[in-house]
């Protein structure tokens, strides 16, 4: 009995499923033109209308990179920002970091800093002048060496790890401020390009879902950061060659920070504030 019953119910299920299939086929056929329209233009593809889980994903990402950006700017302030000895990022900082500056050699910095008490002002001034004038061997032999012998080599030839100032070459090495080395520039350039391109990509992808903005404006806000990034990294190399390129570093850095901030705020606003107003947004943000 049970066998027959279960068999007949199986037949019933199969029949029902086949009918459903035929029905849906017929419905699709009759409403084809209408359906095509809606399926090609899903009205939920925009930031205010996407589902909660996608909003959670986007917001989690945006908040995390926002935090990363804050930490990064603090780090830039502390490393490059202090290159000219003053807090805050300036053109000089960029020039000293990438190009170098004879006025900011290690020796001069130290003689005005932790080595200040190692020689009287007159002798320190003599050393600094000599360094700024290119640290020549002639002047070294005619007086500068004596100052180093009297004031510096007690430590700077005996303490391991400190430069040995009985050797002119080591004094000259400390007299240079060559800016960023080729190897460090290459390393930082490729990390910077890869990592930041990813950040811009996802930030831009989220922003591309925003509604109510001019499409050209949107495209510009999405593509400009990449352009600025390329300019930024190129300008480091150019600044190493000539200090006036530091302006490109400054302008491109400020531009992409500003644009990213605008897109960030727009995305967050459209996801969380706009739906609160009760209005329905039916624009497919991914179609022009």
Q: Closest separation between CB of residue 166 and ligand HEC, Å?
A: 12
Query: Which residue, 268, 232, 264, is CA-closest to 249?
Result: 232
Instruction: Name the burial class of residue 251, with classes exposed (0-12), middle (13-18) and buried (19+) by CB atoms within 10 angstroms of its CB.
Output: middle
Q: Which residues contact 225 (CB under 8 A, 6 or more apart)?
A: 200, 203, 204, 255, 256, 259, 260
Given candidates 106, 145, 176, 192, which one binds ligand HEC under the rule CB under 6 A? 106
Binding status of residue 121 toward ligand HEC by CB under 6 A? no
- Of 156, 207, 233, 268, the residue at the interface with ligand HEC (CB under 6 A) is 156
CA dihedral 92, 93, 96, 97 (to 10 degrees): -150
CA dihedral sign of residues 276, 281, 287, 288? negative
Given 89, 94, 95, 119, the residue binding ligand HEC (CB under 6 A): 119
Nearer to ligand HEC, 66 or 163 (CB): 163
162 lies in the site for ligand HEC, by CB under 6 A: yes
80 binds ligand HEC (CB under 6 A): no
Site string for ligand HEC, 211-240 (x = CB under 6 A): ------------------------------
Residue 151 found at the interface with ligand HEC (CB under 6 A): yes
Q: Which contiguous run of DSSP H or E holds residue 284? A: none
110 sits near ligand HEC (criterion: CB under 6 A): yes
Nearer to ligand HEC, 7 or 137 (CB): 137
Q: Is 181 in the site for ligand HEC (CB under 6 A)?
A: no
Given a contact cutoff of 8 angstroms between Cβ atoms, the answer to whether 211 and 46 are in contact is: yes
Stretch that binds ligand HEC, among 64-72, 149-157, 236-244, 250-258 (CB under 6 A): 149-157
Measured distance CA(93)–CA(79) in Å, rounded: 9
Which string of DSSP letters, residue by residue, matches 22-69?
HHHHHHHHHTHHHHHHHHHS-TT-STTTS-HHHHHHHHHHHHHHHHHH
Is 163 one of the binding residues for ligand HEC (CB under 6 A)?
A: yes
State the residues that interact with ligand HEC by CB under 6 A. 106-107, 110-111, 114-115, 118-119, 151-152, 154-156, 162-163, 174
């Amino acid at each position: 009995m049970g066998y027959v019953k279960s068999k007949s119910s199986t037949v019933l299920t199969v029949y029902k499923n086949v009918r459903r299939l035929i029905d849906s086929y017929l419905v699709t056929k009759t409403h084809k033109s209408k359906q095509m329209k809606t399926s090609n233009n899903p009205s939920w593809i925009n930031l205010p209308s996407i589902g909660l889980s996608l909003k959670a994903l986007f917001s989690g990402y945006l908040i995390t990179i926002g935090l990363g950006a804050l930490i990064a700017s603090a780090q830039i302030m502390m490393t490059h920002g202090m290159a000219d000895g003053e807090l805050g990022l300036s053109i000089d900082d960029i020039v000293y970091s990438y190009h170098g500056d004879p006025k900011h050699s290690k020796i001069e910095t130290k003689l005005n800093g932790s080595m200040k008490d190692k020689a009287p002002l007159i002798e320190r001034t003599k050393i600094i002048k000599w360094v700024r004038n290119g640290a020549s061997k002639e002047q070294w032999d005619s007086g500068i060496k004596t100052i180093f012998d009297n004031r510096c080599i007690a430590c700077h030839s005996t303490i391991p790890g400190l430069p040995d100032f009985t050797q002119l070459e080591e004094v000259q090495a400390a007299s240079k401020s060559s800016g960023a080395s080729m190897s460090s520039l290459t390393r930082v350039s490729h990390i910077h390009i890869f990592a930041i391109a990813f950040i811009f990509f996802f930030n831009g992808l989220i922003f591309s879902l925003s509604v109510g903005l001019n499409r050209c404006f949107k495209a510009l806000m999405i593509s400009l950061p990449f352009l600025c990034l390329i300019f930024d990294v190129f300008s480091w190399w150019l600044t190493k060659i000539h200090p006036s390129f530091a302006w490109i570093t400054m302008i491109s850095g400020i531009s992409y920070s500003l644009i990213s901030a605008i897109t960030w705020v727009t995305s967050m606003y459209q996801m969380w504030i706009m739906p609160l107003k009760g209005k329905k947004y039916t624009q497919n943000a991914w179609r022009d």
